[in-house]
Amino acid sequence: MRVVTDLVAALDGDEEDAEPIPEQDVPPPQEVLLRALAAAPPTVDPPPDELMNAPGELTRFSGRAPHVSALALRRGLTAGLVTRCRAEGASVHAALCAAACTVFHRAGRPRVRVLSPVDLRRATGLPDAVANRFAGARTASGASQAEDFWGLARHHHKALARLRTPQVLKTGSEALAQQPPATPEEAEAMMTVATAADIQITNPGVVQTPAHDRGCLTALWGPAQTTRLRGGHVLGVATHGGRLRMTELDPVAVLLPDMVAVLARQCAEPDPPSS
């Protein structure tokens, strides 16, 4: 996001307002920074889930340009989604996870895994730098959970909250550092396990318009990336100008429209009280 706002400033002719960037040494890797975190009380981990760690299958590099699908929520629906999530004790990101899982479950998938990148700057207080400062957190759901949307959203929210704690992130980093890959093949195999999921949802949240912006930045889409994991989908989410925008590469044709339909229904129709 900093790169984007810097680019907007340059295109907008405000180079004179930009702050000078001092020369810096190469920043230390995140593994070293996480190692320096203070020890925290041990946590009770849930039992291992072999299905969660099933590796993904890599496909051959095709060289073709990916197909891009994009859809923006109306401002009213975006605001309504934020309000309803707060009332339900869930985050907007968790609601997006629940919406994607609901669509996949309705299409017949008995189990759905979601990969959510974690910003280590916010989660553990790592210093900002143009460097890797993220980890991955995976959550999953079964088909029966799709019957209670907000229960499913809270499920993802609670699971992500545990996976974002500094101690869990530090433990995961240390586990990888203790068994570093020795060959490109080992590194590739490690990544197929660490990133295997039915969908990845990358959501940097609300992107603030730079103070110097004179209207150059009117919309923001992404983040977006391609992978070679078979059947995997990458959904980038960014909220700017009061509208939540979703971008998917190599999309399932109905995923974004169906996700929006699920979210709109859940925001428009509060669940009836239980009898």
Using one digit for the tens of pLDDT, what is the confidence trace for 62-75? 788 888 999 999 99
Query: What global pTM score does this model have?
Result: 0.87
Supply 192's token pair: 């197929």
pLDDT range class, residue 275, cuts 50, 70, 90: very low
Specify the higher pLDDT residue, 14 or 89: 89
Res. 16 pLDDT band, cuts 50 70 90: low
Task: Please list, residue by residue across 33-47, b when 16 or more beta carbons sit within 10 angstroms of its beta carbon and e when fewer do.
Answer: bbeeeeeeeeeeeee
Q: Who contacts 56 (Cβ-Cβ below 8 Å, separation ≥6)?
A: 192, 193, 195, 196, 197, 229, 230, 231, 232
pLDDT value of position 256: 95
What would the pLDDT profile of 215-257 be if each residue is shown by its tens digit?
677 888 999 888 877 777 899 999 998 999 999 987 777 899 9
Residue type, 152: L
158-205 pLDDT per residue, tens: 999 999 999 899 988 888 888 888 999 898 888 888 888 999 999 999
Q: Please check the confidence at residue 115 and state whether its pLDDT lies above 90.
A: yes
Average pLDDT over residues 90-100: 97
The share of the chain scoring above pLDDT 70, in percent, equals 86
* CA dist., res. 145 & res. 101, Å (int): 9
User: How far apart are the two ends of the chain, measured CA to CA in Å?
Assistant: 47
pLDDT for 5:
74
Cα gap 78→215, rounded to integer Å: 21
**Amino acid identity of 46?**
P
